[in-house]
Amino acid sequence: MENIELKRFWEQIKEELLATLPENAHPWVYPLEISGYDKGVLTVVTGQMMGRDILRKNYYSIMTEVLQQISGDKNARIVIIYDENAAKTLKKESEKLNKKINDRSLKEQALENLSNMQSAANLNLKYKFENFVVGDSNKFAYSAAMAVAKNPATKYNPLFIYGNSGLGKTHLMQAIGHYIIFNNPKLKVKYTKTEDYVNDYISNSRKTNNNIENMSKFNRKYTNIDVILIDDIQFIESKIKSMENLQYTFDNLYNKGKQIVITSDRVPKDIPTLTAALCSRFEMGLMLELTPPDIETRFEIIKKLADNNDLKYDEEALMYIAKNFVNNVRELEGAFTKVCAYAEITEQPLTLKLAKEVLKCDDNNDEITFDQIARVTASYFDIDIDDIRGTARGQKVSFARHLAIYLCREITNQSFVNISKYFNKKHTTIMFAYEKIKKEKDTNKEITNAIREIRQALKVL
């Protein structure tokens, strides 16, 4: 299921659970969040260990019946996993507030205010800095996001974070919001998806009653704030009126010294029909790229998930998952959740053997290195590898070097920083070479053939 379908599916189940289960069970149902649904197994997580145990012991059969009825799968099962990380975060926030506030009623009010601010800002509790695993591919982005969180509107404004889906853009963006709310609660934070912004704009602009007042309310909603977090800005493309209003929103906030954070799956200049005015505004701050994590970071991500859930595991199993799911963090966590669910249902330990049985990945999918790619590329062009990694500037060598850089990025998913170290080149030079081949490969047969044949030699199709 797509994320939106999955969310609706869970909302339907949750609504039926609240209608079916007794009221004393409702406090344990409300915090449940869906993690995944695969082959009839619905996985949900909670930050309440007692809630998990009560639901498993007293209401599991009823919950299963509800799932089977809505899904239409008589064999569907539900797995409830305790999310210790979320529980620890809530506890830390509570303890921090308790140190500042001595009066009991004020403590309760402060906690309620914090919860209300997070809800009003439309933030997800799990997207915080302490939950973000830092590696070579995201170290700079993490540091920049933290700098913005500590000093909003004084550094890197706007902050533009881009990269493929599932790499942590939303996580970093919302982490900024959570940090500001907790450490500077006087500031008003708002997170919005671009699609929601557009739909909100269209809805208000089409109202015939008091149209001017409706649009005035809409603009106040997005400008009477101190920090705005706009997710997936690429969805603004081709929506001319919405772009015009977004420019107004941007200028209003920026001129008042408010922090603007934006995410996208690509750089502004690659968003079709984006106006030159918006493009220039997005580019005038700091632009950060998030790239797929390397294998060490992928391992740390799922190890942290396992430790937070008190799971017993073999590190070989985690390394197997990290080795075979390289595209993004979302895919990696999905594979891990699938193995965990199977282990819990079958009451087996999380071993390498189990991971292989569940995921059925190709065991021969050994990680390709920069050196392998460079050597095969050099051989293809009948030149020396030292020329590719050196300073030679002949047309043939430069072309081979550009192709090798492109393939290093595409095959290994490593960061431009790591690739630049291998080729002994500046980071910007590596990016230029990659973008050049990426732009020309679909129209240049020589490039297309070379990429195909080098991949075949590397046994990477």
Tell me the pLDDT tens digit for each residue of 314-348.
899 999 898 888 777 888 888 999 999 888 888 88
| Average pLDDT of the residues in 349-374 | 81
| Average pLDDT of the residues in 299-309 | 87
Tell me, what DSSP letter sits at residue 133? P
Confirm whether 21 is domain-assigned. yes
Whole-prediction pTM: 0.56
Tokens found for residue 21: 């289960």
**Per-residue pLDDT reduced to its tens digit, 438-451:** 888 878 888 988 99
273 and 332 assigned to the same domain: no
134 and 209 assigned to the same domain: yes
In whole angstroms, what is the distance from residue 427 CA to residue 437 CA? 16
Amino acid sitting at position 258: K
In whole angstroms, what is the distance from residue 406 CA to residue 403 CA? 5
**Per-residue pLDDT reduced to its tens digit, 92-136:** 665 665 565 444 454 454 445 455 555 567 788 888 898 898 887
233 and 344 assigned to the same domain: no
Domain that holds residue 240: 121-289
What pLDDT is recorded for position 106?
44
CA distances from 4 to 39, 231, 332, 384 (A): 18, 15, 19, 51
Q: Other CB atoms closer than 10 Å to residue 33's CB: what's the count? A: 16
Give yes or no for a contact between 362 and 325, defined as CB atoms under 8 angstroms apart.
no
What pLDDT is recorded for position 365?
47
285 and 318 assigned to the same domain: no
Indicate which CATH number applies to the domain containing 22.
3.30.300.180
34 and 161 assigned to the same domain: no
User: SS3 breakdown of the chain: % helix, strand, coil, rounded to 5?
Assistant: 60, 10, 30
Q: Is 331 exposed, middle or buried, given 0-12, 13-18 or 19+ CB atoms closer than 10 A?
A: middle
Confirm whether 321 is domain-assigned. yes
CA distances from 133 to 34, 188, 297, 404 (A): 21, 27, 7, 29
Residue of 154, 127, 409, 440 lying closest to 289 (CA atoms): 409
CA distances from 149 to 178, 189, 412 (A): 9, 11, 31
Confirm whether 111 is domain-assigned. no
Give yes or no for a contact between 149 and 129, defined as CB atoms under 8 angstroms apart.
yes
Q: How far apart are the first and last CA of the chain?
A: 27
246 and 389 assigned to the same domain: no
Tokens found for residue 189: 């934070």
Give yes or no for a contact between 336 and 133, defined as CB atoms under 8 angstroms apart.
no
**Per-residue pLDDT reduced to its tens digit, 91-103:** 666 566 556 544 4
Amino acid sitting at position 187: L
Which SS3 state, helix, strand or coil, does residue 182 take?
helix
Which SS3 state, helix, strand or coil, does residue 151 take?
coil
What pLDDT is recorded for position 271?
87
What pLDDT is recorded for position 254?
94
Backbone angles phi, psi at 129, to 5 degrees: -60, -40
In whole angstroms, what is the distance from residue 89 CA to residue 95 CA? 10
Tokens found for residue 313: 């595991």
Q: Is the pLDDT of residue 390 over 50?
A: yes
Position 86 confidence tier, pLDDT thresholds 50, 70, 90: low
Percent of the chain with pLDDT over 90: 31
